[in-house]
């Protein structure tokens, strides 16, 4: 913070957002401590990137990587993104996960609305996410072999190689195995996640997560559509959530020429009176503001009290969704 005055406006905003997200009292007190796994404050031309864990990666029984979509930057949405990770952590705990950890992964340069129609951001972001996921799997293998050295990520490493290019964050030794690993992605982040899982399948040996949950998806590239095996998954391991009023998802899929997610389990996210859960509306992950007027009525996919968050939590934790 001593050299904060040397940073550009966006870099200062990114740093402030990170600091605020990591403060113990900045969020719901029931959330566990946040852990900064990797960061890159970027430059005047290159946006910042950050990876923050809610919970302790070293002891987690369930590890979920949460990937956001278009327009979600570290310098504008770090605190909110980490809060969403905390809300998923709490929902997983409530569902029965013993010791979950949710990683808020803002490790790529997200596109704007028009850029979301192309695939280049997903290819680059997917490669960076794949590096972090591969590091997680390599750590698990070392631990299982009795060689779980505390490798740790170097803060800010990879600055010369673009956002999210830091070495994969790896927790210290001592985690219980096996760890249920999932990816939860929204909007354009679903493309990033798909490309990352495809890249993991091309490694030697191939790597696979236990579950992929997508919400507000903007389609699948034609080479992946209808082929969950290319992501290292079966159709039963892929979950899909979509609100009735998510018109951006529909437009993104149609205008981009991508294909819909077909081979996946459709999550029931309508209002559930028996469980006292509300339906999500629109495309956003978080939109609930009780006093913000008509435009902010309703809840987003990751908002507390929604059927979507309830079932996303169960799916990412490997539990029955109904």
d(CA 302, CA 318): 18
Q: What is the mean pLDDT of residues 223-237?
A: 96
Q: Over 50: is that where the pLDDT of 168 sits?
A: no
Domain residue extents for the chain: 4-316
- Tokens 């060689």 -> residue: 147
Where does 4-316 sit in CATH, by number? 3.40.50
Report helix angle 9-22 to 74-95, nearest 10.
20
Shortest CA distance to 121 belongs to which of 112, 132, 134? 112
- Both structure tokens of 94: 């409530």
Beta bridge partners of 56: none
DSSP symbols for 165-201: -SPPP-PPS---S--EEEEEEETTHHHHHHHHHHHHH
Across the chain, mean pLDDT equals: 88
Cα dihedral sign for 269, 272, 276, 280? positive
d(CA 218, CA 255): 10
Q: How confident is the model at residue 156 (pLDDT cuts 50, 70, 90)?
A: very low
Query: Whole-model pTM?
Result: 0.88
**pLDDT of 274:** 94
Q: Over 60: is that where the pLDDT of 176 sits?
A: no
């Amino acid at each position: 913070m001593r050299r904060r005055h040397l940073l550009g406006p966006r870099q200062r905003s990114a740093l402030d957002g990170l600091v605020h997200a990591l403060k113990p009292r900045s969020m719901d007190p029931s959330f566990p401590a946040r852990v900064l796994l990797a960061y890159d404050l970027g430059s005047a031309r290159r946006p910042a990137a950050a990876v923050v864990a809610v919970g302790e990666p070293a002891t987690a029984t369930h590890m979920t990587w949460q990937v956001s979509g278009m327009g979600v930057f570290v310098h504008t949405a770090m605190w909110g993104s980490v809060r969403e990770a905390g809300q998923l952590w709490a929902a997983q705990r409530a569902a029965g996960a013993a010791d979950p950890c949710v990683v808020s992964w803002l490790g790529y340069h997200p596109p704007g609305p028009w850029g979301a129609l192309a695939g280049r951001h997903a290819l680059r972001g997917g490669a960076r996410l794949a590096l972090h996921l591969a590091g997680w799997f390599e750590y698990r293998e070392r631990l299982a072999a009795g060689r779980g050295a505390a490798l740790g990520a170097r803060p800010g490493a990879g600055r010369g190689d673009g956002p999210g290019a830091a070495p994969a964050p790896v927790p210290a030794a001592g985690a219980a195995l096996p760890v249920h690993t999932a990816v939860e992605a929204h909007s354009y982040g679903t493309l990033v996640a798909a490309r990352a899982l495809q890249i993991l399948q091309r490694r030697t040996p191939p790597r696979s997560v236990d579950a992929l949950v997508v919400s507000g998806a903007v389609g699948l590239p034609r080479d992946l559509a209808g082929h969950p095996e290319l992501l290292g998954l079966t159709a039963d391991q892929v979950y899909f959530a979509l609100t009735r009023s998510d018109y951006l998802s529909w437009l993104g899929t149609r205008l981009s020429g991508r294909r819909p997610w077909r081979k996946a389990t459709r999550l029931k996210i309508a209002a559930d009176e028996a469980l006292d859960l509300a339906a999500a509306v629109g495309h956003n992950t978080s939109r609930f503001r009780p006093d913000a007027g008509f435009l902010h009525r309703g809840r987003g996919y990751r908002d507390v009290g929604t059927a979507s968050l309830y079932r996303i939590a169960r799916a990412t934790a490997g539990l029955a969704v109904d």
